[in-house]
Amino acid sequence: MESYEHIAYEYAKKGASLVLVARRENSLREVARKAVQLGSPDVLAVPADVSKVHECKKFVEEAVNHFGRLDHLVCNAGIISFCAFEDITGIGNFTPLMDINFWGSIYTTSFAIPHLKKTKGKIIANASSSGWLISPTLSLYGASKAAVINFYERLRKELEPDVKVTIAALGFIESEMSQGKHLDNEGVVKVNQEMRDVSIGILPILSVGKCAESIVNKACRGERYVIEPPWFKVLILIQFLCPTLLEWAVHFLYVTKSGTPVTNARNKKILDAIGGKKFLYPSSILSSQIKKD
């Protein structure tokens, strides 16, 4: 259900050869098998941890050695935290947010650029609308994604016209994150769907398949940004034109003070009162059967 695998499937449908990178080797092989069924002529699966610079260098080299070229780089690894900043008790455990969300993309991009220049290739950076929008309980996550957006906006100008950069600023998408997998206030990976409900509330969640299709199609066209779900464009516009209006809405819907019970959030109370999860959330994210690694 992760976006990386559905992005791979969309490329496979277009007949692209693929290099898949993730920590879970069994999942990689399953995605590779399905990608071949969907039309990819050759898929190389490389287990690796993008937070480690030497592993990023190694899998870029493996990709180029195997295929002889590199046309598109998709930077998609990510982890999220759901907690108020003042409630954090293990601040030293939150370095993975930057190591994975930011540095994982930067390491890989650094090693890929020389090869992408040769093919007039493209970089697709999977960021988040939280990098622009006010997001209580997502302060550290939002900061890591703001860093991603800022970096790739500037890199775009450095690389034009040799390499095009598409930034995917995503909102709430069907994924393990929207299923409740996150770093808790101690910096430990947990699955907590109550915190998910507090953070997402009454906002609808887009299917991962539609999101992946949009990302791949727009990246192939060389578009500068992909914003999904589409209605997030309205929130981003309000943020830039009338930020006080968005701040009022956030204050009304979210618990923003440290120590306040998360169940007091108005958006969660509204969600529960109207039974919103039945029609706002895909059934796939309501299951708690996901891996915590």
Active-site annotation, residues: 141
Is 11 strand, coil or helix?
A: helix
Q: What is the largest CA-CA distance in the chain?
A: 56
Q: How many residues does the chain have?
A: 293
Tell me the C-alpha distance between 87 and 105, whole Å: 28
Tell me the C-alpha distance between 43 and 32, whole Å: 6
Q: Are 254 and 150 in contact (CB under 8 A)?
A: no
Q: Are 174 and 282 in contact (CB under 8 A)?
A: yes
Tell me the C-alpha distance between 80 and 58, whole Å: 26
Single-letter amino acid, residue 272: D
Do the bridges between strand 122-128 and strand 72-75 make them parallel or antiparallel, or are there none, so unpaired? parallel
